[in-house]
Each structure stands twice: as structure tokens, then as C-alpha cells.
Amino acid sequence: MKDLSILIPARNEMFLARTIQDILEHAESDFEIIAVLDGYWTDPAIPQHKRVTILHFPDSLGQRAAMNKAARVARGEYLMKVDAHCAFAPGFDRVMLADMQPDITMVPVMRNLHAFDWVCPNAGPFKPDSKNEDPHRRYQGPSGPCRECGKPTTMDVVWYAKPSPQSTAYRFDNTLHFQYWPEYRRKQVGDLVETMSIQGSCFLVTRDKYFELDLCDENHGSWGQQGVEVACKTWLSGGRVIVNKKTWYAHMFRTQGGDFGFPYPNPGIGRAREYSRDLWINNKWDKAIYPLSWLIDKFNPPGWDVSRGILYYTCNTHKIDIELLCRRQLLKSRNGHELGCISLKETEFGDWHITLPHERSPLAMHKQILAGLEFIKTDVVFLCESDVLYHPSHFTFVPPTRDKFYYNTNVWKVRYPDGHAVWTDDLQQVSGICAYRELLLDWYSRRIQQIERDGFDGHYEPSPRENWQSEYPNLDIRHPNTLTKSRWSPDEFRNPKYAAGWREADEVPGWGETVKVLAGL
């Protein structure tokens, strides 16, 4: 029997061979690597090595089933699951195994992996932590010509583990959605520290515990919720989830665009989270010796005692089919939150509705929002517009502080009716705001007084602001009757900074082909 079996479930992973090479260079125990090619052949090919075993399935099984196949043939006393796009510290396995105990799930410190750049012939050599100072070198986003000179680009694999951030604290919110938890780090004293949850891309357990707790329960579906499942099963069965701060791994995160997207169908994570919520919130796991409330009481994460509501406001002047499409999506995405509608014409939608006798105008919009804020009594409020398609992941957010307006900047503008989509960085829109009700109520009360006294100055967005990004984007439908101007070229911006990060696409993560989304009209 070997010390350690490193299991890598992979599907359409361009960096699998590089990840395996990294492990071979840095692991120091008696280990083996088992890589599962789930419905594909890897390119580039994986070099033959005595420590590497390849399991190939011509038809995709799903990530969880692939993990279980690998675990059943593994010969290690310990099993370590890693994603197929990771780098590791020298001796990471030796360091972790030295501190392992039978009831522990252990993870290293997590860094971000800078795997590649897009470079044109004018690019200089890679410089670690250069903050993209070379305009001919573009950080691992979508492919395309150089944004500086327009020349074709090629992929330059740099494989650099960024020294910051060093993530050690994780949690999940009251919808069982994974969250980073940097605020908890001040409570983590020492080299072996507890964390409520894990990210899921790397964890170490004993072989016996993997099967005893069924750490890859295939009832979740193909993929998703891995970190929440492993953490809950460990804690609620009497074990502990530990971050070993003596070593690290670096994980490459999925980028916008089709060059390094999710290998499994996006709806799969929705099924996994639905199953997860039912399993843990309703305390249905038969191996638990503690209820979920025990874990919540132990860590006291934010958001579990925070109520959230949605204010949907409409001027009733858009194409009715667009509004109906957006309402249907909102009902699917609301995550059980209270939903109120404030309109300028009688509109029966949501849990309650208010009609104001005003004509469409910026002042009327502000008054609609204020009327909704005065009626709703939830702690936190999302502001939602009638021509935006909201993804369910938008409504999992809880503002970490009470004194800021949080803008979800993960949004694509989608042109009606052809579905062409554009992206710019840091797009702050009222339709993406989430904040505590008291803050919103105070700002909109004062803002209406200012508009009535001085007139509207063209600025809709409350401050102070902070950005966040949902797991998947929202779609802002741009049509002839939108209140603000649509721009379909960077040249249309008077200030170039508002076109920063300009991208165009006809397919968006979490939604697929946008023209088909609009075809739901």
C-alpha cells in the first residue's frame, strides 16, 4: 500500500498534463496519481510514468462518479482530490501527511494560479507580479487579438503561483453557496487552523473516511457543492476541517469566455445545490451526530440571521414580452426571498405589488424604489429592473457591511433581438445593487428631495460603493426603449476608462447562446 493516492477527475482540461508534471516535480511521499479522462482524450498527451495511472471512459460519467472510480482503484492509505489545473509547493504531501489524523479533512493554503497569458509578437518576457504592465501581454482571459496593437496572440504558459492572496478561511451562506471568509482569518491562530467549509479543488482524507462518509455522493448529480459536502460531512460526523498553513497549492480559476470554461453543463450545479440544501438544512444525512445548526453556532457565519428581499420596479413601457421573460426568470431565481413589485401601471406580480400614478422619469424611478423600501421589511434588499435577466447566483449574496452599496459587476449587456453581448469591467448599475434596507431607505429619501429641489443630474448610482461578482452573470437586455444609452463599440465612450476590459460574445457562461435566451420571448 502506498502513502497517498492523488485523484484528478478531468474533462476537457487543457492543463491536466501540466498539473501532473507539477505533482511529479514536487511530491515527496510514496504516492501515485490517478487521472480520470471523463469522456475525452487529453491534449497534450500525458507522458508515461510509473506513478501515473490513467482511467479513460469514452462516455462522460460526471465529476463525482469519476472521483469514485478513481478512489476504488487507489492503493493509498490517504486520498487527495485535486482539480486538473493546480500547482503545488515542494513537499506539500509530506508536510500534510505528517499532521494528518483519521478524523481530519485537510487542505493546504490556497493561492491563485497564474497559468497563462495571451501574448503577441511584441510582448516581452513574463515578469511575476508585474500587474499587466506589458500592454502586449493579456492575463488569462478569452483569446483574441492583442488589445494594444491588434496582432494575433498565442498562449504563453507561465504557471506561476501568486503569493497573494493566501486563502485559509471559507464558509457557506444560508443557501449553501460557497463563500470566501477573509474576516475569519484573525481567529485562525497557529499552523493548523479550523475552517467552516472548503473550496473543493483540493482536500486530503483517509481512504477509510472517504468511503465511510461517501464524500462524493453521486445523488448530487454530475458536479458542484463538493466543498460544502465534504465540510459538512466531516464536521457533522464528529471530525474537523483543517487548513495546514505550512504548505500551499495554487488553483487556476475559470475565466470569462470559451477558452477555459466549465467542462460540465452549467445547470448541473443548480441540481447539486438543490440536493445539498435539502440534505443539510432539513438534516437528512443519516450519518450526522450533529445537526447543521451545531455547525452554524460553532462558526457564527454572517448572513444566517439576515433576511433578504427583492424589489422589482418597472415603468411598464418596455416591450411586454421582454418584461414577461424577465419576470419568469426572476421567479425561478429568487431563492425563496420575498419579492415585491412597484409599477406605474397595475401589475400583479410578486408577493405584493404597489402602483404609483406617475409618468416614466428618473424621479418616478426613485420614488418607486423608495415606496418599495418603505413597504418591505427585510434586512437586505436587492434592486431589480424589468429588463434584466437575473441568475440565481445573484441572490446568494449577503453584504458584509451595513454602510456600503454593493454592485454586482458580473453583467453582460445583450442586444435585442440578435443576442450580441458585450462586457466592460466594473460595470456599476442600479439593477445590480444589494444593500441593507436602512442604508437604501436613507439614501433614496434624501436623493428624492435633492432631485425635487435641484433637478436630476444624470447620476443614478448610490455611494459609497463596493463591487462583487456573482458566480454567473446577469444579462442586461438592451432594447430601443431602455432609459440609458446602449454602446456597442469602445469608440462610443467619451471616456475610454468606461470601455476597460471590452469583450464581445454570443455565448455567456451560465446562459449559453444569448440569442436562444432571447428566443424565450
**Cα–Cα dist 390/14, whole Å:** 31
Q: In this predicted structure, what is the pLDDT of residue 271?
A: 81
Task: Write the DSSP symbol of residue 167.
Answer: B
496, pLDDT greater than 80? no
Let me know: does 222 contact 265? Beta carbons within 8 Å: yes
Question: In CATH, which superfamily holds the domain spanning 2-114+163-299?
Answer: Spore Coat Polysaccharide Biosynthesis Protein SpsA; Chain A (3.90.550.10)
Sign of CA dihedral 197, 198, 200, 206: negative
pLDDT interval class at 257 (50, 70, 90): low
Domain ranges of the chain: 2-114+163-299, 308-518
520, pLDDT greater than 80? no
Average pLDDT score over residue span 250-274: 70
Sign of CA dihedral 232, 233, 235, 241: negative
Average pLDDT score over residue span 228-237: 97
Q: In this predicted structure, what is the pLDDT of residue 224?
A: 84
422, pLDDT greater than 90? yes
Q: In this predicted structure, what is the pLDDT of residue 266?
A: 54
**Cα–Cα dist 289/239, whole Å:** 10
**Cα–Cα dist 339/331, whole Å:** 9
Domains 2-114+163-299 and 308-518 share a fold: yes
Let me know: does 178 contact 190? Beta carbons within 8 Å: no
Average pLDDT score over residue span 238-267: 80
Report the SS3 class of residue 108: strand
**Per residue in 430-477, pLDDT tens?**
999 999 999 999 999 999 999 999 999 888 899 999 999 998 999 999
**Cα–Cα dist 362/65, whole Å:** 53
Q: In this predicted structure, what is the pLDDT of residue 260?
A: 67
Q: What is the grid cell recorded at 214?
A: 461517501
Average pLDDT score over residue span 2-8: 95
User: To which H or E segment does residue 320 belong?
Assistant: helix 320-333
Q: Which residues contact 323 (CB under 8 A, 6 or more apart)?
A: 314, 316, 386, 387
Q: In this predicted structure, what is the pLDDT of residue 495?
A: 79
Q: In this predicted structure, what is the pLDDT of residue 506?
A: 92
If one compares 5 and 273, the residue with the highest pLDDT of the two is: 5
Q: Which residues contact 138 (CB under 8 A, 6 or more apart)?
A: 117, 118, 119, 132, 146, 147, 153
500, pLDDT greater than 90? no
Centroid of chain to Cα 368: 31
**Cα–Cα dist 451/423, whole Å:** 31
Residue with cell 460544502: 228
484, pLDDT greater than 80? no
Average pLDDT score over residue span 170-192: 91
Q: Which residues contact 115 (CB under 8 A, 6 or more apart)?
A: 15, 18, 85, 140, 157, 158, 159, 160, 252
Average pLDDT score over residue span 159-186: 91
294, pLDDT greater than 80? yes
Q: In this predicted structure, what is the pLDDT of residue 115?
A: 93
Report the SS3 class of residue 432: helix
pLDDT interval class at 140 (50, 70, 90): confident
49, pLDDT greater than 80? yes
**Does 308-518 carry CATH code 1.10.3470?**
no
177, pLDDT greater than 90? no
168, pLDDT greater than 90? yes
* 0.75 surpassed by pTM: no
If one compares 225 and 205, the residue with the highest pLDDT of the two is: 205
**Per residue in 347-402, pLDDT tens?**
999 999 999 999 999 999 999 999 999 999 999 999 999 999 999 989 988 887 88
Q: Tell me the average pLDDT of the chain.
A: 91
68, pLDDT greater than 90? yes
If one compares 494 and 188, the residue with the highest pLDDT of the two is: 188
